[in-house]
Amino acid sequence: MVVLDPNDPRLQDPALDENNGVTSQLSRWITDLQLKDIPTDVLERAKHLILDGIVCGLVGARVPWSEECVTSVLDFEPPGYCTVIGYEKSLGPLAAAVLNGAFIQATELDDYHSGAPLHSAAVVLPALFAAAQVIANPTVPTKDGRKVVSGLDFLLATVVGLETGPRAGLGCGGTDLLKRGWHSGPVFGCPASAAASSKLLGLSADDVESAIGVACTQAGGLMAAQYEGMIKRVQHAFAARNGLFGALLCRNGYVGIKKVFERRYGGFLSMFSQGNGQTPQYDSRRVVEELGSTWQMMNIRIKLYACVGGCHGQIEALAKLQELHPDRFAPENLSRIAKIQVYLSGAIYAHDGWAPEERPMTETGAQMNAAYIGAVQLVDRQVLLAQFAVSTLNRDEVWDLVYKTTCYHDTHFDKPHHVCGARVVVDFDDGFQVEELVNMPKGYDPPITDEEIRMKYRRLAASAIDQDRMEKIEKLVVGLENLADVSELLELLPAPTKRVLG
């Protein structure tokens, strides 16, 4: 690593200014934010992102890898007072945040940001659920004596978290971190959960800055987690825990890292942008750029497929080819496909364009692999949770197409908001070739509507919980700003859910 002399002209770039006050400006905004400062459409979107996150948690609580995680955690964690989604068990704040975050991210059905990749609900909601119950617990003293968290309190804190994560990511180079092998969401998610928790706990701006610093010094996450095992599902939950820990630690004056975004030596943006080859290496100004006027949370996308968001353009390109050429892509003719070429953005090619090393892959690996995802779209004409059940992972008709698929990087998709697009070229054994391009998958422009999010919620919730509970949760979340006590919502989450995947 090359360490620049403080007088090096490259450090005179305003993007690298160590004294621009970015972290303190963000912290003041977090503290001061009020309902009147947030446009109505942003508030509505936040409520629907909460709804989407909750249903992902309800479904994800009962997949096999989540159940394994619960069993292990309950072996060493003592009982507490914080809700665990889908289980009639309560744990301490940090342990509950880890499990709830793991559930929300468990099935790859949760949200993602298109410019600074992270799964925001898996980071923000678990921290807020636990923080709300810390406040409500009569044995835990709080500085201002609050014991009830209103729905409005919860909503404001959610907006803060949803807005902070992408901004930290954009300052660090957006998709670049993912391209270089970091799991970007657990990195960008640490300041997001710290910001949200701090807002709910009522921290001063100075303490918010400390909490963000404590969260950021814990940041990390290796994208090698995608190939096998189960830990990839938990890594966003680490960020939820880290930010919550920072807020709880600093709410009474404990001092964390200050100026963590703008510090050149050992700062968050400086260190996580090492080796990216960009000029400037990072830009701390992007953390607060148009803060309060341009809402980055509106670029959080809602998944319609149960796989990595970067392959959604590929799925839609293949679906279009199936629609345009029904005879060619009929089930009995799939064996006549000779070659499939998939062209992806740099970040998604690095993340998902790898050739499988073994057959079958794990559920995690399958949901992260472009060749496998494309093959199940061709065979099953859908990419939902059922396509990644253990019983489906070794089908000959799928693997025949996996082995015929090769992925490539196409710089066309490195353009803003094109990162999840794809171009697919399919050759048949008689020389016939078809091609389809999708620059931006469904939900980019225009985005998925709030009504469509509610439809997704109802469809998924019906597979996990009863009708009465499903309707109560939706009603409370959609009317969150009018809810006197968020405990009414949290009480609906721990009851057992149905197992949705064998």
Question: Is pLDDT of 322 > 50?
Answer: yes
Looking at the fold, whether 81 and 105 belong to one and the same domain comes out as: yes
Give the 3-state secondary structure of residue 424.
strand
Looking at 301, 317, 335, the residue that finishes a domain is 301
Contact 390, 364 (CB under 8 A): no
Task: Quickly list H helices, 358-446.
Answer: 363-367, 370-380, 396-402
157 confidence band (pLDDT: 50, 70, 90): very high
Least confident of 140-144, 204-208, 470-474: 140-144
Question: How distant, in Å, are the alpha carbons of 111, 191, 236 from that of 216?
Answer: 22, 6, 13
Instruction: Say what the pLDDT of residue 9 is.
Output: 54
Helix (H) or strand (E) holding 138: none
Question: How distant, in Å, are the alpha carbons of 294, 337, 379, 446 from that of 399?
Answer: 45, 13, 10, 35
Looking at the fold, whether 317 and 296 belong to one and the same domain comes out as: no
How are the residues of the chain apportioned to helix, strand and coil, as percentages rounded to the nearest 5? 55, 10, 35
Instruction: Say what the pLDDT of residue 7 is.
Output: 61
- pLDDT tens, position by position, 333-389: 999 999 999 999 999 999 999 999 999 999 999 999 999 999 999 999 999 999 999
Residue 475 lies in a domain: no
Helix (H) or strand (E) holding 113: strand 112-113
Give the 3-state secondary structure of residue 499.
coil
Looking at the fold, whether 391 and 424 belong to one and the same domain comes out as: yes
Higher-confidence residue: 118 or 144?
118
- pLDDT tens, position by position, 260-296: 999 999 999 999 999 999 999 999 999 999 999 999 9
C-alpha angle 491-495-500 in degrees, rounded to nearest 5: 135
Instruction: Say what the pLDDT of residue 10 is.
Output: 54
- Rounded to whole angstroms, the Cα distance separating 440 from 299 reads 13
* Number of domains observed in the structure of the chain: 2
Residue 54 lies in a domain: yes
Least confident of 9-18, 158-167, 460-469: 9-18
Instruction: Say what the pLDDT of residue 2 is.
Output: 46
Question: Is pLDDT of 79 > 90?
Answer: yes
Give the domain range for residue 347.
309-438
Residue 114 lies in a domain: yes
- pLDDT tens, position by position, 459-494: 999 999 999 999 999 999 999 999 999 999 999 999
Question: Is pLDDT of 1 > 50?
Answer: no
Looking at the fold, whether 151 and 26 belong to one and the same domain comes out as: yes
Instruction: Say what the pLDDT of residue 144 is.
Output: 60
Looking at the fold, whether 52 and 138 belong to one and the same domain comes out as: yes
Looking at 301, 335, 364, the residue that finishes a domain is 301
Looking at 393, 423, 438, the residue that finishes a domain is 438
141 confidence band (pLDDT: 50, 70, 90): low
Looking at the fold, whether 425 and 346 belong to one and the same domain comes out as: yes
Looking at the fold, whether 363 and 271 belong to one and the same domain comes out as: no
Residue 448 lies in a domain: no
Question: Is pLDDT of 71 > 80?
Answer: yes
438 confidence band (pLDDT: 50, 70, 90): very high
Looking at the fold, whether 286 and 322 belong to one and the same domain comes out as: no
Residue 205 lies in a domain: yes
Rg over alpha carbons for the chain, rounded to the nearest Å, is: 22
Instruction: Say what the pLDDT of residue 429 is.
Output: 98
Looking at the fold, whether 185 and 256 belong to one and the same domain comes out as: yes
Residue 461 lies in a domain: no
Looking at the fold, whether 268 and 313 belong to one and the same domain comes out as: no
21-48 in b/e form (b: 16+ CB < 10 A) is bbbbbbbbbbbebeeeebeeeebebbbb
- Rounded to whole angstroms, the Cα distance separating 389 from 401 reads 18
Question: How distant, in Å, are the alpha carbons of 130, 359, 376, 399 from that of 396?
Answer: 45, 10, 11, 5
Which CATH number fits the domain that encloses residue 150?
1.10.4100.10
Q: What is the DSSP letter of 409?
A: E
Residue 6 lies in a domain: no
Which CATH number fits the domain that encloses residue 357?
3.30.1330.120
Question: How distant, in Å, are the alpha carbons of 92, 131, 245, 260, 433 from that of 214?
Answer: 19, 16, 8, 9, 54
Q: Which amino acid is at 344?
A: L
Residue 389 lies in a domain: yes
Looking at the fold, whether 286 and 314 belong to one and the same domain comes out as: no
Looking at the fold, whether 250 and 317 belong to one and the same domain comes out as: no
